Amino acid sequence: MISSGRHPKKEIADALRRAEQADLDVEEIHRGHRWGEVTCVPCSARFAVWSTPRDAGTHAKQIDRFTARHTHPRLAGRAPGSS
């Protein structure tokens, strides 16, 4: 899924790109202090992404840790190279 825009903080935008590459959904919401949300579709876990966290690099690492926890093994039928 492609989000409609990029997060203004580069480190966070990069972490969100890594989340998308790991098959997580990134949704831009802009509600209060929340820029958007990362969702793991298989287990419906959700992560709130701040627009202006205290430290962008730290928030990026928090996103990466969420991504790592939700990089589930792909279903056999979706594995690269299978047909």
Residues 6+ positions from 10 with CB-CB distance below 8 Å: 56
- Residues 44-73, one symbol each (x = binds other proteins by CB under 8 A, - = not), give -xxxx-x-xxxx--xx-xxx-xx--x----
32 secondary structure, DSSP code: T
* Burial label, 40 (beta-carbon count in 10 A; 0-12, 13-18, 19+): buried
Q: Which is nearer to other proteins, 10 or 69 (CB)?
A: 69
Report which secondary-structure segment, H or E, holds 60.
Answer: helix 56-69
State yes or no: residue 16 binds other proteins (CB under 8 A). no
* Residue 35 is a binding residue for other proteins (CB under 8 A): no
Residues at the site binding other proteins, with contacts judged by CB under 8 A: 31-34, 43, 45-48, 50, 52-55, 58-59, 61-63, 65-66, 69
